[in-house]
Amino acid sequence: MNNNDIRSQFPILDVTVHGRPLVYLDNAATTQKPLRVIEALDGYYRTLNSNIHRGAHHLATEATERYETVRRQVQSFINARHHHEIVFTRGTTESINLVASSFSKRYFTGDDEVVVSGMEHHSDIVPWQLAGATLRPIPFSDEGVLDLDAYEKLFSPKTRIVAVNHVSNTLGTINPIADIIRIAHGHGVPVLIDGAQAISHIPVDVQALGCDFYCFSGHKMYGPMGVGVMYGREELLNEMPPYQGGGEMIENVTFERTTYNQLPFKFEAGTPSVGDVIGLGEAINFMQEVGVANIAAREDELLRYATSMLSQLQGIRLFGTAPHKTTVLSFLIGDAHPYDVGTLLDQLGIAVRTGHHCTQPIMDRYGIPGTVRASFAVYNTLDEVDRLFAALQRIMPMLQ
């Protein structure tokens, strides 16, 4: 599929901003949605809307079947052993909160450590703090590469779990999660992978990786907001108590005692976002049609081109120059505040993100307030990189 064919599937790319064609480079925050996802949502509410699992009528049966089909689709997409290891959530944040809350209730003893990386998103830091853990961060180099020797030394008898991101949303580093998992398992410690930034760029095989949990969001992989996935190994999920109580997650309720439903329903209390799950299924169809390897190759080209172009700008500082990276380009220009750069770029129709990107410890590590972040998706073009470069050249005199 050539780039024009891909772009034509995304209606929002035709929008103009401040009178100029939109250049959307904020894909690490959320990707845009192809027409087929938008139509799946529309079609669901026009013809299928119904609450699932408990209805005897046609719409409920059909909606249930579509919802459960997507569960199997996700299973196959990440190569999970069982479909009941796929739990639908609202997104990565809820997935990690679910694991942190439920895992800690089962396995924490009162003096507990969680090994994270120094480049985690807040959503893989705060849930563990809420669960009462002391965090042991893996340090990283100036380039943004995790120090695996230091990592090995962080294990202690108090280590309960390792929780790291597959790809850093601020630095773009692809972390060596196969090594991280192997080392943790050598210490008898399970591993959660935050795959929010990896799932749309890298083929994921949870069985080959051997991870115990893998979490991601639909909206960062061309799917709708409001849906995400928590993959967990059956053995652990069976041991862990429910996260939330309510409808669907029960087997039997009395005022004295409640027994819980089987997997995955034990972790899906209440009415799920059925339409969004169906939309996620269409997003996976889109990704598989283009091919995850093709997406990665295209984005790699964009990243390499953008890195070489932006490196030519005087006074630019790039953050995250690891040899293994995905499509995130974080930078600062001289002493200009990232927000000023972002606002000026917006005036020229270019959407980037500015700030700490929910990774304040990374900003502390470099002693900076934030960065400007351009991030690419499969529909971006080299021409858009040229527009970013030209826009930066144009605004630089205003930033002095």
CA–CA gap between residue 304 and residue 301 (Å, rounded): 5
Write the single-letter amino acid at 219.
Answer: H
Separation between Cα atoms, residue 362 and residue 6, nearest integer Å: 34
Q: Which stretch binds ligand PLP (CB under 6 A): 106-114, 194-202, 273-281, 310-318?
A: 194-202
For residues 361 and 10, what is the distance between their CA atoms, to the nearest angstrom?
Answer: 35
HSE-CB at 102 with a 13 A cutoff on CA atoms is: 22
Q: How many residues does the chain have?
A: 400
d(C-alpha 189, C-alpha 247), whole Å: 33
The helices-and-strands tally (H runs, E runs) of the chain is 14, 17
Q: Find the catalytic residue in 59, 296, 358, 399.
A: 358
Binding-residue total with ligand PLP (CB under 6 A) = 12
Q: Which stretch binds ligand PLP (CB under 6 A): 11-19, 191-199, 206-214, 381-389?
A: 191-199
Residue 306 CA to residue 381 CA, distance in Å, equals 10
Distance separating the N- and C-terminal Cα atoms of the chain:
43
Question: Is residue 72 within a helix (H) or strand (E), and if so which, with residue range?
Answer: helix 58-77
Residue 375 found at the interface with ligand PLP (CB under 6 A): no
Does 89 bind ligand PLP (CB under 6 A)? Our answer is: no
> Residues 282 to 341: which contact ligand PLP by CB under 6 A?
none
Our CB check for ligand PLP shows the closer of 28 and 344 to be 28
Among 197, 200, 261, 375, binds ligand PLP (CB under 6 A): 197
215 annotated active-site = no
Distance CA 5, CA 33 (A): 14
| 172 touches ligand PLP by CB under 6 A | no
Could you say which residues in the range 101-160 bind ligand PLP, by CB under 6 A?
121, 123-124
Which CB, 9 or 93, lies closer to ligand PLP? Answer: 93
Q: Which stretch binds ligand PLP (CB under 6 A): 85-93, 171-179, 253-261, 367-375?
A: 85-93
Q: Is residue 196 involved in binding ligand PLP (CB under 6 A)?
A: yes
Is residue 75 at the binding interface for ligand PLP, with CB under 6 A as the rule?
no
Residues tagged active-site: 358
| Site residues for ligand PLP per CB under 6 A | 91-93, 121, 123-124, 165, 169, 194, 196-197, 217
